[in-house]
Amino acid sequence: MTQPIYLVGARGCGKTTVGVALAQALGCNFVDTDHYLLTTTKMSVADIVAQEGWDGFRRRESGALQSVTAPGTVIATGGGMVLAESNRQFMREHGVVIYLRAPAQILASRLEAFPEEGQRPTLTGRPITDEIVEVLAAREALYNQAAHHVVDATRSPEEIVAAVLAALHTAHA
Ligand code: ADP
Ligand code: MG
């Protein structure tokens, strides 16, 4: 597998967790666009949004997507990467796009159990569960549009990795 693999999906769907395990299984590199932004800008997502607004963050996110794209790489993308049509098109043209799909209730319970450090500000300022339901409803169609394969991400990380590998095999059989 030399084409980059892009993992898309909402925050908490397991892009980082599954991406690390998938890269290991494939003997690939792993990169995370949020982490790339953090190390290259030395700012958290919250800092970038505070200083440059969401538009500024989205511009930097698109730049990060292009910078990390390389053969033999598993790429975990930020939850909002699919918002820009140009990002969806870029990913579909440059690699294989996998949507890790999980319902809002599961995303919420994962994020509540393990609140991330430097969590990005909520878009609405309302409780996280309400926001997840709304954001997922708004983005679900975009995740589906971007994806070559949709994988059920409610299972264990090992099962999800196996399902992604099976999907990749199908496509390249
Ligand atoms: P993302 O990168 O998509 O935001 P993460 O990989 O950071 O998601 O996972 C979010 C949280 O959910 C972490 O605490 C992680 O340990 C947990 N998690 C991820 N995948 C699973 C899974 N398949 N089953 C249970 N918990 C998971
Ligand atoms: Mg992540």
The pLDDT mean for the chain works out to 91
Q: Is residue 117 pLDDT above 60, yes or no?
A: no
The domain that holds 32 is classified in CATH as 3.40.50.300
Pocket of ligand 1 (CB under 6 A): 9, 11-17, 76, 110, 114, 156-157, 160
pLDDT of residue 115: 62
Atom of ligand 1 nearest to the CA of 17: 6
Three-class secondary structure of residue 100 per DSSP = strand
Q: Is residue 118 pLDDT above 70, yes or no?
A: no
Q: What is the pLDDT of residues 133-163, one digit of tens each?
A: 999 999 999 999 999 999 999 999 999 999 9
DSSP letter string, 134-154:
HHHHHHHHHHHHH-SEEEETT
User: Distance between alpha carbon 74 and the CA centroid of its chain, in Å?
Assistant: 11
Determine the Cα–Cα distance for residues 92 and 85; give it in Å rounded to an integer.
11
The residue among 85 and 126 whose pLDDT is bigger is 85
User: Of all protein residues, whose CA lies closest to atom 14 belonging to ligand 1?
Assistant: 114
Q: Residue 88's domain spans which residues?
A: 5-172
Q: What is the pLDDT of residues 33-87, one digit of tens each?
A: 999 999 999 998 889 999 999 999 999 999 999 999 999 999 999 999 999 999 9
Eight-class DSSP state of 3: S
How many domains is the chain built from? 1
For ligand 1, the distance from its centroid to the CA atom of residue 17, given in whole angstroms, is 6
